[in-house]
């Protein structure tokens, strides 16, 4: 079995860096997948604020193993000025180099309305921009990982494979909870939702890193996030295969139980957010332990 490690989006436990460090330490971990502090992305905080974050992480002996950046994410259009992408990538790369962080999560911009053909989707521009991001980050020793999320490069196996193959140096971060709430554009209309296990099997060779979340769709076809293994994310099956295969990367928690960064309608008390993050993470740890015992 590989020497995988646990980590997580600690901004789902607490908005401030002190709370994020506290949750990480309570779980016995030494890694955080950084995203935002006080609801501001790491690549957008001021230099003074970053210095403060850096100092507290170093004092606590906590590493940032991956940065869940906003580059090309669900809020970004391919028609937005390229300067936005270049600026985020440049600031992020410098800060991740200082932190010793080796991975940065990106996406490939919102899908354009209308046809899925390359011309309408400005596919060449997407590839061009991500190649620039890869170059900027590589110069700082950081590997770019594209998430199978609701962006152009997450619409189905063929879209993900093509994007990964057309941007040399870019790898895949596989999120178990995204497929059941993402339409499969490789299939005919009305597009069904993706199947996590099918997607995982098809894309396994590209996986560098893993996000763990789980969910089901309610009667209105809206996502309801649940504990790991309780939903349609094939969490147990994916983790079992990864562990059997000798996976040695991060297993990163993204519960979405009390805080969903891209959905401001999801509100919770600070106490509930903290406790749900801890509970989700402990459930995932226990699940991994069960899998290890079964494999032995």
The answer, yes or no, to whether residue 162 has pLDDT greater than 80, is: yes
Average pLDDT, the chain: 95
Which has more pLDDT, 267 or 206?
206
Other C-beta atoms closer than 10 Å to the C-beta of 39 total: 10
| Cα–Cα dist 114/185, whole Å | 13
Domains and CATH numbers, the chain: 5-295 (3.20.20.150)
Residue 61: predicted pLDDT: 98
| Cα–Cα dist 266/288, whole Å | 28
The answer, yes or no, to whether residue 232 has pLDDT greater than 80, is: yes
| Cα–Cα dist 278/287, whole Å | 14
* 96-105, 143-152, 176-185, 263-272, range with the lowest pLDDT: 263-272
| Cα–Cα dist 197/237, whole Å | 7
* 1 — pLDDT class (breaks 50, 70, 90): low
226-243: average pLDDT: 98
Residue 266: predicted pLDDT: 54
Residue 296: predicted pLDDT: 83
40-49: average pLDDT: 98
12-33: average pLDDT: 98
CB of 95 closer than 8 Å to CB of 42: yes
Q: Is 234 exposed, middle or buried (0-12, 13-18, 19+ CB in 10 A)?
A: buried
**Torsion angle of alpha carbons 276, 67, 105, 11, nearest 10°?**
20
* 265 — pLDDT class (breaks 50, 70, 90): low
CB proximity list for 7: less than 8 A, separation 6 or greater = 29, 31, 32, 33, 65, 66, 250, 251, 252, 253
Provide the percentage of residues in the chain whose pLDDT is more than 70.
96
The answer, yes or no, to whether residue 79 has pLDDT greater than 90, is: yes
63, two tokens: 């590493």
* 260 — pLDDT class (breaks 50, 70, 90): low
Give Dmax over CA atoms of the chain in angstroms.
53
CB of 172 closer than 8 Å to CB of 203: yes
Which helix (H) or strand (E) is 66 found in, with range? strand 63-68
The answer, yes or no, to whether residue 216 has pLDDT greater than 70, is: yes
150-173: average pLDDT: 97
* 229 — pLDDT class (breaks 50, 70, 90): very high
Other C-beta atoms closer than 10 Å to the C-beta of 100 total: 12
CA 13 to chain centre: 16
Residue 269: predicted pLDDT: 87
CB of 4 closer than 8 Å to CB of 29: no
CB of 132 closer than 8 Å to CB of 85: yes
| Cα–Cα dist 262/254, whole Å | 13
109-113: average pLDDT: 97
| Cα–Cα dist 260/12, whole Å | 8
Could you tell me the pTM of the whole model?
A: 0.95
HSE at residue 218, side-chain half, CA atoms within 13 A, is 6
* 61-65, 255-259, 268-272, range with the lowest pLDDT: 255-259
Q: Which residues of 248-268 are buried (b: 16+ CB within 10 A; e: fewer)?
A: ebbbbbbbbbbbbbeeeeeee
Cis peptide before 248 (omega within 30 of 0): no
Measured in residues, the chain has a length of: 296
- Closest listed residue to residue 239, CA positions, set 150, 174, 165: 174
| Cα–Cα dist 131/62, whole Å | 30
73-93: average pLDDT: 97
């Amino acid at each position: 079995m590989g020497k995988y490690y646990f980590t997580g989006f600690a901004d789902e436990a607490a908005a401030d860096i002190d709370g994020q460090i506290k949750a990480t330490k309570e779980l016995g971990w030494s890694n955080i997948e950084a995203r935002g502090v006080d609801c501001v992305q790491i690549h957008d905080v001021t230099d003074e604020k970053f210095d403060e974050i850096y100092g507290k992480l170093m004092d606590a002996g906590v590493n940032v193993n991956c940065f869940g950046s906003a580059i090309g994410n669900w809020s970004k259009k391919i028609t937005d000025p390229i300067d936005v992408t270049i600026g985020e990538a440049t600031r992020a790369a410098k800060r991740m180099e200082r932190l010793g962080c080796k991975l940065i999560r990106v996406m490939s911009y919102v899908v354009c309305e209308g046809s899925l053909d390359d011309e309408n989707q400005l596919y060449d521009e997407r590839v061009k921009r991500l190649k620039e991001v890869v170059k900027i980050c590589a110069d700082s020793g950081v590997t770019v990982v594209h998430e199978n999320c609701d962006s152009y490069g997450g619409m189905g196996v063929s879209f993900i494979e093509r994007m990964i193959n057309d941007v040399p140096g870019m790898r895949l971060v596989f999120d178990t909870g995204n497929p059941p709430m993402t339409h499969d554009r490789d299939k005919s209309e009305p597009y069904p939702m993706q199947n996590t296990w099918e997607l995982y099997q098809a894309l396994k060779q590209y996986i560098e890193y893993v996000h763990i979340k789980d969910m089901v769709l309610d009667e209105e076809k809206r996502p309801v996030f649940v504990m790991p293994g309780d939903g349609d994310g094939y969490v147990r099956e994916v983790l079992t295969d990864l562990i059997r295969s000798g996976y040695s990367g991060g297993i990163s928690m993204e519960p979405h139980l009390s805080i969903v960064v891209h959905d401001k309608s999801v509100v919770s008390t600070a106490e509930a957010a903290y406790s749900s993050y801890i509970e989700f993470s402990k459930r995932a740890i226990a699940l991994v332990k069960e899998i290890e015992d079964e494999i032995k």
